[in-house]
Structure 1
Amino acid sequence: MGVTVQPLSALRTQSWEEHERAKGEQRLPRGPDHHAYRGDAMGDPDDIDDVPRIYVACLACHSAGRLHGRWFEVGTDPDELHHEVLGHFATGCETCTSYESECPECRAFATPFPCGGEELAVHDHEGLGSAGEGYDLEHLCAVAGLLEDFPSRPVLAYLSEVDRDVEQAREGLRDGYAGSWKSAAEWAESWAEDADLGVEQLWPYVNWEAYARDLLLGGDVRTVEAQGSVHVFWR
């Protein structure tokens, strides 16, 4: 007697928004490696504590062999962030009060005469995934907005799959994210339980790896692997 793989479109589980409304009713995990969403009391294993931030440097100064840069936290307003960045580079360092000469602190830290921030680049970043070195504050702030609205690990994993398309990532996370798991097989077992397929007595004999493969080949779901977890998205 075999187990029939039913069409996922007929048995699709709740969307992200439906999940958020019902979060308080989520059941507890079956084991310590189960990373599906399970309510605030357990904490969220898909969140990363890193505050999104970027290290902005002056390219002209860098080419001249001089260090001029600073870390900035990334919020959701690109204009506000750009104003903060330009304010720093216009004065050279936080203690500069004049645009006419280099202050002692600038000299002590090998910081150049204020350059005005005409050529800027992001030389490093934290909590933003594969952000690159371009000075694209609008995109970086859009990513920060995603990180405010959704758990960080699936955000960063999914962005890498959709070529950093923020709107596509937002749509996929809102409408299709089904949680993170240790493996696709673990997700398939949980999905079968949630879908109430009525074959619980057969579960000890089910090859969940093969079942997960068949579900994925059906084309209604995709997975993204990142940092030891498998993130599941409905198409």
Structure 2
Amino acid sequence: MSEEIRIYVACLAAYNSGYLHGVWIDATADIDDIQDQINSMLESSPVEDAEEYVIHDFEGYGSYRLSEYEGIQSAHELACFIEEHGEIAAELISHFSTLEEAKKAMEEDYQGEYASLSDYAQEITEETSEVPSHLEFYIDYDRMGRDMEMGGDIFTIETGYQEVHVFWNR
């Protein structure tokens, strides 16, 4: 993902008074810096004594949808995970709905990126079995990969053309 991971934090008092007042913030920045930027935005609000803020928009989170009340800490942790692992991390968070499950899948169950599920089936077969040379052309790796996925042994996430990420399904 080449897109910057950022959030648009708006002043809730200004919004409720009919003003659009907010700031785009790099969600991977230090949490104290994020809070300082929010405090500065609230201090410059067109509404006096503004205290509350809300996330009105975001970029770089892939298919995961941040809630406007997600919380700055949560948005920051999600952004850092996505920054570290790229688009696959955003898709994992969306798949599992929690950061903890996504992290666990990435750390414990990730098998790698392949051009196709067939390529994965071939690699794992050749690593774990010795296929006699006179039988190699009769093995249907497409069907094997499909059976692994349909049987629940693995799950995949596609992030682009010939970008299939394979995970053990535990």
TM category (shorter chain) comes to 0.7 to 0.9
The residue that corresponds to 1:78 in the other structure is 31
Q: 108, 119, 139: which is aligned to 2:74?
A: 139
5+ unaligned residues in a row in structure 2: which ranges? none
The residue that corresponds to 2:51 in the other structure is 118
1:170 match: secondary structure = helix
Note if contact 1:188-1:208 (Cα within 8 Å) is conserved in structure 2.
yes
Using the TM superposition, give the Cα deviation of residue 123 of structure 1 relative to its aligned residue in structure 2, in angstroms. Answer: 1.6
Closer/same/farther in 2, CA of residues 210 and 64 from structure 1, 3 Å limit:
same
5+ unaligned residues in a row in structure 1: which ranges? 1-47, 93-112
The TM-score with structure 1 as length reference comes to: 0.61
Higher mean Cα deviation, 50-59 or 76-85? 76-85
Q: 83, 95, 99: which is aligned to 1:166?
A: 99
Using the TM superposition, give the Cα deviation of residue 124 of structure 1 relative to its aligned residue in structure 2, in angstroms. Answer: 1.4
Query: Which 4+ runs in 1 deviate beyond 6 A?
Result: none
Note if contact 2:9-2:23 (Cα within 8 Å) is conserved in structure 1.
yes
Larger-gyration structure (1/2): 1
Higher relative contact order (CA 8 A, sep 6+): 1
Note if contact 1:57-1:120 (Cα within 8 Å) is conserved in structure 2.
yes
Closer/same/farther in 2, CA of residues 206 and 57 from structure 1, 3 Å limit:
same
The residue that corresponds to 1:96 in the other structure is none
CA RMSD of aligned residues (A): 2.3
Percent identity at matched positions? 30
Which amino acid is 2:129 matched to?
A: L
The residue that corresponds to 1:190 in the other structure is 123
User: Residue 154 in 1 paired to residue 88 in 2?
Assistant: yes
Closer/same/farther in 2, CA of residues 49 and 68 from structure 1, 3 Å limit:
same
The residue that corresponds to 2:61 in the other structure is 128
Which one has the bigger strand percentage? 2
Closer/same/farther in 2, CA of residues 162 and 199 from structure 1, 3 Å limit:
same
Aligned-partner Cα distance in 2 for 1:169–1:220: 17
Aligned-partner Cα distance in 1 for 2:164–2:9: 33
What is the aligned residue count? Answer: 165
Aligned-partner Cα distance in 1 for 2:112–2:105: 12
Note if contact 1:120-1:135 (Cα within 8 Å) is conserved in structure 2.
no
